[in-house]
């Protein structure tokens, strides 16, 4: 399914093919950074000639819409519907990735991205694990640093995989995992979406794909993974061993600190013929979209419960796709923007700054948002400051021990007590503008 999506966007001229041989050490990452947000297909990888590398397949909201075959206004509804109405995928007995097997990571084109990285990092890996207490699967993104050809350091934060790992550790057991690289964007979105513990993200992905996803039990760990996966790695997280993980550039573009993290011992690697390795540039647009966009959906859902009409939400690129939100609403009462701000902070606890604007403002245009703040915001009336609350570990300005921070909300909407006409941008007649722009586009 990933290959079909690549073919689809290639036919539309969206993808950029890189024919020149490039190294996995810095060179490919430099090109990814130059064309950030654009899908790139690297056809010649110096150290791994049998592999191709894809990046940027989820590097914009438009690409997500292409992957899900939906229009702009239906994106959040589609994702929420899939989360609330998961479908069990069809299980098959064979998969293309079973054609080739290796005992080590040696042939994989694992990138080194920045000059002070702790080592080569797998950045687009989905980790599949089973909770034996509930007999349910979990799927989640985790960065993995190469230690050697048979071992990876995995960064695990206190979420669902951590819960499974901790339960096994208390029993003195290792945690079997199947690592998947190279899947359709719908699977990536589902893995990033904050489902409740015990819900299988693969079922949500199948719903997003209208029931077309097929799965297969992995050969060693018997964990269900997408049959169209390009690469899978079977192994286990050692319940006793830890190693220094990092430095690593996280979503803020700065280095995350070095921590002791668990080790994955690799048992077997499987991959398709002419395999495609998916790489995400740390702190790039694809990183921000996959990490932030599912949280936009949650913010949108929460705000809709307190404000009648919510148009769009953006976790902005300048805010690292994580710390800053802009929300556009159709305001009915003076309290609507402040209610939206409070709901947004509840929906996404890592959120640091939130701006609410009217529905004539493009939340994805920083200049438009700044203009709204400049012309529609008065700090004495429209500013909310919340002191001494838990923020994000990714914010280097927060207290790194307690994660305590200060949150700010800005109501940049037109006051209902004033003439709306005084706050609207001047523009030429729409019909004449369309006519002139059409002529210019042809010339």
5-57 per-position pLDDT tens digit: 999 999 999 999 999 999 999 999 999 999 999 999 999 999 999 999 999 99
Contacts of 295 (CB under 8 A, 6+ apart): 194, 315, 322, 347, 348, 350
Q: Which two tokens stand for residue 22?
A: 């490039």
Averaged pLDDT for residues 93-103: 96
126-183 per-position pLDDT tens digit: 999 999 888 899 999 999 999 999 999 999 998 999 999 999 999 999 999 999 999 9
pLDDT score of 23? 98
Is the confidence at residue 331, as pLDDT, over 90? yes
Q: How far apart are CA 313 and CA 297, in angstroms?
A: 8
Q: Please check whether residue 55 is in contact with residue 16, taking contact to mean a CB–CB distance below 8 angstroms.
A: no
Query: Quick one: which of 67, 300, 297, 278 has its CA closest to 179?
Result: 278
Cα maximum dimension of the chain: 73
167-183 per-position pLDDT tens digit: 999 999 999 999 999 99
pLDDT score of 257? 87
Q: Please check whether residue 36 is in contact with residue 281, taking contact to mean a CB–CB distance below 8 angstroms.
A: yes
User: Of residues 220 and 426, which shows the higher confidence score?
Assistant: 220
pLDDT score of 90? 97
Q: Is the dihedral of CA 71, 32, 256, 143 positive or negative?
A: positive
Give the catalytic positions in this structure.
250
Strand order in the sheet with 224-226: 90-91, 214-217, 224-226
Is the confidence at residue 393, as pLDDT, over 90? no
193-244 per-position pLDDT tens digit: 999 998 999 999 999 999 999 999 999 999 999 999 999 999 999 999 999 9
pLDDT score of 72? 66
Question: What's the pTM value of the predicted model, to 2 decimals?
Answer: 0.91
Q: How far apart are CA 209 and CA 203, in angstroms?
A: 10
pLDDT score of 425? 87
50-96 per-position pLDDT tens digit: 999 999 999 999 999 999 998 766 889 999 999 999 999 999 999 99
255-285 per-position pLDDT tens digit: 988 999 999 999 999 999 999 999 999 999 9
List of domains in the chain: 2-273 (2.30.110.10), 286-420 (3.40.1670.10)
Q: What is the DSSP string of 205-235?
A: HHHHTTT--EEEE-TTT--EEETT-SEEEEE
- Average model confidence (pLDDT) for the chain? 95
352-390 per-position pLDDT tens digit: 999 999 999 999 999 999 999 999 999 999 999 999 999
Read off the pLDDT band of 401 (50, 70, 90): confident
């Amino acid at each position: 399914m990933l290959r079909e999506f690549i073919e689809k966007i290639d036919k539309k001229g969206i993808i950029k093919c890189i024919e020149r041989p490039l190294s996995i050490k810095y060179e490919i990452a430099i090109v990814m950074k130059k064309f950030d947000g654009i899908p790139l297909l690297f056809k010649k990888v110096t150290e791994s000639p049998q592999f191709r590398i894809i990046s940027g397949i989820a590097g914009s909201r438009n690409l997500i819409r292409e992957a899900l075959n939906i229009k702009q206004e239906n994106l959040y509804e589609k994702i929420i519907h899939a989360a609330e109405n998961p479908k069990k995928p069809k299980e098959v007995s064979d998969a293309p990735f079973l054609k080739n097997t290796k005992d080590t990571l040696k042939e994989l084109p694992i990138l080194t991205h920045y000059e002070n990285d702790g080592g080569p990092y797998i950045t687009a890996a989905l980790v599949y694990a089973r909770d034996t207490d509930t007999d349910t699967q979990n799927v989640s993104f985790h960065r993995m640093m190469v230690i050697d050809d048979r071992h990876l350091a995995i960064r695990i934060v206190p979420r669902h995989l951590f819960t499974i790992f901790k339960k096994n550790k208390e029993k003195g057991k290792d945690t079997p995992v199947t690592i998947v690289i190279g899947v359709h964007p719908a699977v990536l979105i589902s893995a990033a979406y904050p489902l409740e513990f015990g819900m299988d993200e693969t079922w949500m992905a199948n719903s997003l794909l209208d029931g077309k996803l097929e799965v297969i039990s992995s050969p060693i760990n018997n964990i269900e993974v997408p049959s169209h996966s390009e690469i899978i790695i079977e192994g286990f997280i050692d319940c006793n061993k830890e190693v220094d993980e990092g430095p690593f550039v996280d979503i803020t573009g700065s280095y995350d600190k070095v921590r002791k993290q668990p080790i994955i011992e690799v048992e077997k690697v499987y991959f398709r013929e002419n395999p495609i390795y998916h790489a995400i540039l740390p702190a790039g647009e694809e990183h921000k979209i996959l990490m932030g966009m599912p949280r936009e959906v949650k913010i949108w859902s929460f705000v809709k419960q307190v404000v009648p009409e919510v148009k769009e939400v953006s976790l902005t690129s300048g805010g690292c796709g994580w710390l800053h939100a802009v929300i556009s609403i159709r305001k009915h009462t003076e309290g609507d923007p402040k209610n939206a701000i409070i709901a947004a902070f509840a929906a996404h606890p890592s959120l640091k700054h939130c701006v609410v604007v009217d529905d004539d403002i493009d939340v994805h245009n920083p200049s438009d948002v700044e203009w709204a703040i400049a012309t529609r915001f008065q700090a004495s009336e429209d500013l909310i400051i919340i002191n001494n609350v838990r923020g994000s570990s990714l914010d280097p300005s927060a207290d790194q021990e307690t994660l305590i921070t200060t949150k700010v909300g800005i109501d940049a909407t037109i006051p209902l007590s004033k003439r709306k006409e005084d706050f609207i941008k001047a523009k030429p007649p729409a019909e004449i503008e369309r006519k002139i722009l059409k002529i210019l586009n042809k010339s």
